[in-house]
Structure 1
Amino acid sequence: MRFYPLLALLSLLLGLLVGALGYGEPYILPWYMFFTAIVASLYGLPWGLVAAGVSTLLLLLFPGFQAMGAAILLLSAYLAHGVGETLRRAHRRAKGLARSLRYLTLALEGLAGARNRTELLKSLPERLSELGAGGHVGVWVPEEEGFRLLASVPPLSLDRIPATGVVGRAYREERPLYIPDVRREEGYIAAPGLPSLSELALPLKERGQVVAVLNLERPRPFLEEEVEGLVRFAQAVSLELDQLADLEARHLLAELSERMESARSKGEAARKALALLVEVLGLESGALWEARGARMVALGHHGVTEPSLLKVLEEGLPYGVGLAWQVYETGSPVYTARYAEESRVVPALKALGWRTFVAHPVPTLGALRTRRVLVLGQQAARPWRKAEEEMLLLACRTLGLALERLEEKERHERVNALFLRLLEKPPEALYHPLLAEAVALVPGAEAGSLLVLEGGAYVYKAALGYDLEALQAMRFSPEGMLLWYGLGEREARKGVPRVMSVEDRPIPEISHQTAPEEVIDAAGRALEIQANLCLPVTYQGEVLAYLNLDNLHDPRAFGEDSLEAARFFAAPLATLLHESHSRRLLEEAALTDPLTGLGNRRAFERAFQEELARAKRYGYPLALAVLDLRGFKPINDRLGHAMGDLALKRVAEALKRGRRNGDKVFRWGGDEFAVLFPHTPKGGAVAAAFRHAQAIGEICLEGHCLGVNIGVAAFPEDGDTEDALLSAADTRMYQAKAQGLSVVA
């Protein structure tokens, strides 16, 4: 177009030249028409009319002027203006678009240089400042109740706006919003001191979520091509935000993996991970919680200085208190900027006004529940970005793998330490420490017990969370333990652990089938047990013990990870129990009558002392029966000592068959026997004595039949000392013999 003015001038000069050569108006007029048309098309109708007037004056200089020539020139100006207006408009649009594209290109070239999301967003107003000439370019980021100005050119005195207005609409509708005339926009928020006619709000997205709004205002409308170019620019910014989020996640995972490799314990791993995540996410503090039975304990924390919060970390979270327990139950992360409104809060945090938190599960292979929960937060409210959620998910997976590796290492070290202690202490002294380690290291356990095989029955040797002394009064037959175990003898002999939950089986009812209800409910808390893990401890195919681990709160506390952890204790327990079993066999030989296999008088005195002390402490009834055989001397004298020994064996077998769960039978000496009836009042003991008398009366050898005289005494009515009770029972036994009765009580 720069040649057109030269053409106009040349046309004017040629018209003058033709006139000077003596030609008339018909030859001069076309050149002036060219001049007028070019001026009108280039500069508009006013200048075209001026050109037509100049041409008319020049025509007057030459002979033959006619008014029609002036009319033709005016018509030329008008027609050329109409055609030129379209060209001028296209030219202005092309210039404006070229300028806009130049600025957008420069802005796009600079996007790749941004190091992080915040730096990128802050740079946008400066990059696009020329496109907002006369107005302003700003970037607004969402906060709890509106938007905060992140950056602006020129600077604005307004740094926060409500969620209304054009910016708010673009954010909510997640689409570009162009308002040609803001005077007609309801809820328009004016920028103080800056005249504006049109406004363009462009949502900037990261992972498909609007994280900011690029807002341009100026005193003239945007061209359609400008709007389209800026929309594409916003899309390019969104793509760059996605790439920066990917880069940030990769850097975080690389740094986290490096820190986890150098960690030597779960606590150290927790502290290193928390320090990194708090820094990357721009938060204030965090803690990593681990569920241990009925309490969440803090593996580590970072940035916590408030005394009330340090106390919470020291004491742990009781069952059900806080978002960590909610995540434990649901397995889903919780993101909130309104902590006080959540259903589960830690009172100390609520009192301090903390508002923003994330509680995220840290995965554990094979677990039904989330064993560990990462909690990060800050006191002020802030929205959570989707990119942050994705980054935390990846970070927690990496952290979970590291913690599992460290947990397995810790488990090996502690179990190996138990093996070494086996060499230093008597086995019985290790029952409780070993049980305590099992409760601490098996996920989901908060209480437990160990029952060891002694004298053909299983007895409690250690308990955590239960009344061991009361439980030790009970004895369980192998059949009773198999009923509790539930998988059968074959699996028990193979040492297969099993999990039982109140959601699947009635734990209290099964307990009541194997033990006195009043004891197992009080001392064993059977009604409280929600889940049980039972591990048969075997040696060469014999079940030497049962390790029970319990959870009193959660039916789904135990998973495959719990079974895997429990198996770690099978080997040290088997070794411990085998050695203990060998020692116990020697002790039992000293406490066992070799002929009948019953406990001897020494065993009776020990058991009587223990049961009486237990009965006094807990107020349980205790009964005692002393038995003296009738008809034994004739068998021994007439049929020989071998038949006498056989008669004593038959009596022992009859007493064993007739005893109830918990009863203890002894050969006192010669043809005298004794029976202890724990948790049994006198009436129950008398009934049992009559059954024993009947069974013994049915024993006959070569025509010689046996009988028995039994004296029964009971605590507390017949005395509260061993001597008093023995004296009462012995006296009644002689009364029965004198009166020809089977039982005297």
Structure 2
Amino acid sequence: MSESGAGDEATASAQVYSQVMVSLASCRSAEELRDRLVQAFPEGPVVVTTGPDWSVEWRGKAGAEEADPAHLVAFGHFRDSVTNLRDTLLLLGRSAQLSQLALSFAGRGTDQQVIRSALPQLMEVFGLLGVQGLRDHHGRLVPEPAWTTGTIPEVTFTREDLAACRQGKPLIRPGGLLLPLAGRWRARIALWLPDPGRRWSRDELQLLDIVARAISTEYDRIQSQRHLSELLSMQRSLLENDPESAYRPLLQQALQQIPGAQSGSLLVRDGELFRYAAAVTFDEAELSQVSFRIDDTRDNWYGLGKDAWLRGVPRILRNARLHVQGSGFLREGEYHEGTLPSVDHIAANIGVPILHHGEVYAFLNIDAHNDPDAFAEDSVEVARSFAVQAALLLHEAWQRSRIQHAARTDVLTGLPNRRAFTECLEGVVANAQRHKTPLSLLLADITRFKAINDTLGHAAGDQALVEVGTTLRECLRAGDHVFRWGGDEFALLLPYTTLEGALQVAERIREALARRVACHPALELNMGAATLRTDDMTGSFLLRDADAAMYQQKRESHSRIS
């Protein structure tokens, strides 16, 4: 063919390619683009290949001469245009699919459902054989079975992988792609997309970043709702119980909510000291009888200064700083320099003052043992919000406890009153009958109490009641209970005590009272003792027997114990 003929053919081919491209401009998907190309060249010389990465190739016509270079140049431009259009339509298609994916799980159920529902479509959109969910667990990336689907080759993740995940950066490895799910805070979950040898394009990485943010945003929302629900549940629990029984559930809730937490302890204020009220995964024997000076805790262990302390600002300590800032402690009242041995096993610590109306009520310690970098901004934020709620709940519980205590306490002597006695009696009787152990009761009243009031005045009578109440309290053994029964009468419940043991307690009280009351030399007690019968399930016979014994002594008109 002459040069002019070849040139004319190349020009004609270029015009054909141009017309085909105009017809392809209205395609809405890569599938539609391929179908139109097949229709445009039913007999060649352009052939459309198959497969997900299909393309156009020059094959020529059977028996035809090889195309001249000018024609091939025109075809090359056409092929590049088709490839660009195909890639754009594929990108738009994937983007639309991922947008639908994001809408499909918005506002849905639990964190497990959010991530699990995204996996099949991710596999479809990117042509994957499987997707594996991962969780940052105490310094390691570990598989999350509930977030895994398809075929997953065995893979081990390194500290470098964990560091990339925490930075929120997708990491291309020889075996696939590590995709962190980073929302508002540091990524603590990720997806592993196994596809050995795949060359991930910039457009694909951008799409994956978009879907990762959509999933993590929904995940964060669900986590926030879960935390709120747990706080409300904790509020109900705390208000239904006394503060002492609420400390451990409060600490357990903190460990469940604060990212990176493994163990912890709760210190509560007791006068000018902090004492351990609850601990989880610590040796409780080590913490027994341990307390801390408030100033040491604030200035050394906490270490952010008084202003931050009174604002409840959380702080993080790592590794060596734990020992540098570690404060001394008291054990059974004796001061010890340095830190408790358990501090050696802590890699990082969050400390949070818990306060209400400017007063620190408690101090929360949250610990990580394996990973110095376990705590980040999300941990601090959750710890802060938890401390605010915990302060309100503890304050309400303490106020409620004070009201209950006041309703069960005699104002004059400070002893529990008859209402408290009735409640206590039920418990100790049930325990004695269940374990078949003895239980005794002492009832007492003041001899010639009316004469004291009549001759010395009611102030002297009140003072006599206070002296007797103080003496009885000082004579208590561990596990005993003393009450002001009413008027000039008192009651002592003595678990694990036989009648003989009760009489010995009564004699000890008589001797102590005689030594104490110099201003009332005639002040004595009439006391009656009784022991629980085996068939007495309510304590009613115990009361009747002790009351009868006390009145028998009064009739005998001397201080001997009946």
TM-score normalised by the shorter chain: which range applies?
0.5 to 0.7
Separation in 1 of the partners of 2:13 and 2:275? Answer: 92
- SS of the aligned residue for 1:276 comes to helix
Deviation, structure 1 residue 486:
0.7
- 1:239-318 matched pairs, under 5 angstroms: 239-294=84-139, 296=142, 298=144, 300-304=146-150
- 1:489-500 matched pairs, under 5 angstroms: 489-500=306-317
Q: What's the counterpart of residue 435 of structure 1? A: 251
Deviation, structure 1 residue 543:
0.9
* Aligned-partner residue type, residue 562 of structure 1: S
Deviation, structure 1 residue 422:
1.5
- 1:470-485 matched pairs, under 5 angstroms: 470-482=286-298, 483-485=300-302
| Pair 580,454 (structure 1): closer, same or farther in 2 beyond 3 Å | farther
State whether structure 2 residue 9 is matched by structure 1 residue 89: no
Supply the RMSD in Å over aligned alpha carbons. Answer: 3.9
Q: What's the counterpart of residue 511 of structure 1? A: 326
- SS of the aligned residue for 1:548 comes to strand
- 1:523-602 matched pairs, under 5 angstroms: 524=342, 526-578=343-395, 581=398, 583=401
- 1:25-424 matched pairs, under 5 angstroms: 89-99=3-13, 101-103=15-17, 105-106=19-20, 109-110=23-24, 112-113=26-27, 115-116=29-30, 120=33, 132=45, 137=47, 139=49, 150=51, 214-217=56-59, 220-294=65-139, 296=142, 298=144, 300-304=146-150, 325-336=162-173, 338-339=174-175, 357-365=176-184, 367=185, 369-377=186-194, 382-424=198-240
| Pair 323,475 (structure 1): closer, same or farther in 2 beyond 3 Å | same
- 1:607-626 matched pairs, under 5 angstroms: none
Deviation, structure 1 residue 451:
1.0
Higher deviation after alignment, 579-588 or 544-553: 579-588
Separation in 1 of the partners of 2:47 and 2:98? Answer: 36
* Aligned-partner residue type, residue 125 of structure 2: V
Separation in 2 of the partners of 1:444 and 1:240? Answer: 47
State whether structure 2 residue 241 is matched by structure 1 residue 425: yes
Deviation, structure 1 residue 429:
2.3
Deviation, structure 1 residue 391:
1.0
TM-score, normalised with respect to structure 2: 0.62
* Aligned-partner residue type, residue 241 of structure 2: K
Deviation, structure 1 residue 374:
1.8
- SS of the aligned residue for 1:393 comes to helix
| Pair 517,281 (structure 1): closer, same or farther in 2 beyond 3 Å | farther
TM-score, normalised with respect to structure 1: 0.48
| Pair 129,225 (structure 1): closer, same or farther in 2 beyond 3 Å | farther
Separation in 2 of the partners of 1:455 and 1:587? Answer: 18
| Pair 385,517 (structure 1): closer, same or farther in 2 beyond 3 Å | farther
Separation in 2 of the partners of 1:584 and 1:375? Answer: 55
Deviation, structure 1 residue 288:
3.1
Map Cα deviations across residues 294-341 of structure 1 (whole Å, 9 max, x no partner): 4647384242589x98xx9xxxx9xx66886353355422223x43xx
Runs of at least 5 residues in structure 1 that lack an aligned partner in the other structure: 1-84, 140-148, 152-210, 340-356, 595-667, 671-745
Indicate conservation of the 8 Å contact 1:359/1:375, yes or no.
yes
| Pair 540,89 (structure 1): closer, same or farther in 2 beyond 3 Å | closer
* Aligned-partner residue type, residue 484 of structure 1: W
* Aligned-partner residue type, residue 20 of structure 2: L
Map Cα deviations across residues 60-112 of structure 1 (whole Å, 9 max, x no partner): xxxxxxxxxxxxxxxxxxxxxxxxx9xx5314421343145325533662464
Map Cα deviations across residues 705-724 of structure 1 (whole Å, 9 max, x no partner): xxxxxxxxxxxxxxxxxxxx
Indicate conservation of the 8 Å contact 1:446/1:549, yes or no.
yes
Deviation, structure 1 residue 245:
3.9
* Aligned-partner residue type, residue 315 of structure 2: R
* Aligned-partner residue type, residue 216 of structure 1: W
| Pair 517,540 (structure 1): closer, same or farther in 2 beyond 3 Å | same
Deviation, structure 1 residue 358:
1.9
State whether structure 2 residue 284 is matched by structure 1 residue 468: yes
Deviation, structure 1 residue 478:
0.5
Indicate conservation of the 8 Å contact 2:355/2:391, yes or no.
yes
Separation in 1 of the partners of 2:116 and 2:323? Answer: 42
Q: What's the counterpart of residue 478 of structure 2? A: none
Separation in 2 of the partners of 1:122 and 1:506? Answer: 67
Q: What's the counterpart of residue 486 of structure 1? A: 303
Separation in 1 of the partners of 2:403 and 2:359? Answer: 15
* Aligned-partner residue type, residue 193 of structure 2: L
Separation in 2 of the partners of 1:545 and 1:334? Answer: 43
Separation in 2 of the partners of 1:287 and 1:434? Answer: 34
Deviation, structure 1 residue 115:
2.3
- SS of the aligned residue for 2:289 comes to coil
Deviation, structure 1 residue 269:
0.9
Deviation, structure 1 residue 566:
1.2
State whether structure 2 residue 340 is matched by structure 1 residue 520: yes
Deviation, structure 1 residue 545:
0.8
Map Cα deviations across residues 583-629 of structure 1 (whole Å, 9 max, x no partner): 489989x9xxx9xxxxxxxxxxxxxxxxxxxxxxxxxxxxxxxxxxx
Separation in 2 of the partners of 1:477 and 1:518? Answer: 13
Q: What's the counterpart of residue 422 of structure 2? A: none
Deviation, structure 1 residue 439:
1.6
Deviation, structure 1 residue 220:
3.8
Separation in 2 of the partners of 1:585 and 1:501? Answer: 42
Deviation, structure 1 residue 420:
1.1
- SS of the aligned residue for 2:290 comes to coil
Separation in 2 of the partners of 1:304 and 1:464? Answer: 38
Map Cα deviations across residues 240-262 of structure 1 (whole Å, 9 max, x no partner): 13421441243134212312324
Separation in 2 of the partners of 1:585 and 1:545? Answer: 20
Indicate conservation of the 8 Å contact 1:459/1:475, yes or no.
yes
Separation in 2 of the partners of 1:122 and 1:517? Answer: 82
State whether structure 2 residue 459 is matched by structure 1 residue 459: no
Separation in 2 of the partners of 1:480 and 1:457? Answer: 10
Indicate conservation of the 8 Å contact 1:535/1:547, yes or no.
yes
- Greater relative CO, 1 or 2 (CA 8 Å, sep 6+): 2
Runs of at least 5 residues in structure 2 that lack an aligned partner in the other structure: 331-335, 413-472, 476-562
Map Cα deviations across residues 200-228 of structure 1 (whole Å, 9 max, x no partner): xxxxxxxxxxx777543557443333223
Q: Which has the larger radius of gyration?
A: 1
Indicate conservation of the 8 Å contact 2:24/2:33, yes or no.
no
Indicate conservation of the 8 Å contact 1:324/1:375, yes or no.
no
Separation in 2 of the partners of 1:413 and 1:138? Answer: 57
